[in-house]
């Protein structure tokens, strides 16, 4: 069983913001699997699929970004997610706009949603797909990540979302984080 979690904020006003890239990637991934988000469980909206005989749960926490760990830890407990079967996809302001960085494990960096997940899980030992949103801006970090994306941003990010959802597909088909890093980190 695999658990794929996209991070974001549930209110409509956040739908087109850099901080909701995790949700956008989860939506594209679910679309590629042919499933819809139809279940509200463990403080998350979930979609359930089967890939190569394996159950796959795609989740979008409804707890707001900074409390994402509540939903992720509850889903991990409920479904007894095994080590190496969790991947979290989210925005990263420290990576250039539209670039992907996949890692097998690591710290939360400056991302508060990831900090909360690490706190609740008590480990850094799970895969993550980070989508870059970094660029020069006069806005504070908080104002920027909650601002509306421009059409020019979408040009870069639509490609990144496609690549991230492809990486997630490869992950649930058994590709290792190392393989994904080699294939996608240069994109």
Cα–Cα distances in angstroms (integers) from residue 1 to residues 15, 51, 55, 87, 127, in the given order = 29, 10, 5, 12, 15
Residue of 19, 48, 111, 120 marked active site: 19
Q: Distance between CA 72 and CA 53 in Å, rounded?
A: 23
Residues 6+ apart with CB under 8 A from 113: 7, 22, 65, 66, 68, 69, 90
CB 40 within 8 A of CB 62: yes
Q: Any catalytic annotation for residue 19?
A: yes
Residues with a catalytic annotation lie at 19
């Amino acid at each position: 069983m695999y658990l794929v979690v996209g991070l974001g904020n549930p209110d409509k006003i956040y739908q087109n913001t850099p901080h909701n890239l995790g949700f956008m990637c989860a939506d594209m991934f679910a679309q590629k699997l042919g499933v819809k988000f139809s279940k509200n469980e463990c403080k998350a909206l979930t979609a359930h699929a089967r890939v190569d005989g394996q159950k796959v749960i795609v989740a979008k926490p409804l707890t707001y970004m900074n409390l994402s760990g509540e939903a992720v830890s509850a889903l991990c407990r409920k479904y007894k997610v095994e080590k190496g079967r969790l991947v979290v996809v989210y925005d990263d302001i420290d990576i250039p706009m539209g670039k992907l960085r996949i890692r097998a494990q690591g710290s939360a960096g400056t991302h508060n949603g990831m900090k909360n997940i690490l706190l609740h899980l008590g480990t850094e030992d799970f895969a993550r797909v980070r989508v870059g949103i970094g660029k020069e801006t006069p806005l504070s970090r908080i104002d920027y990540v909650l601002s509306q994306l421009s059409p020019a941003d979408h040009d870069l990010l639509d490609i990144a979302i496609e690549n991230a959802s492809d990486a997630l597909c490869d992950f649930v088909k058994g590709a290792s984080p190392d393989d994904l890093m080699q294939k996608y980190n240069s994109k």
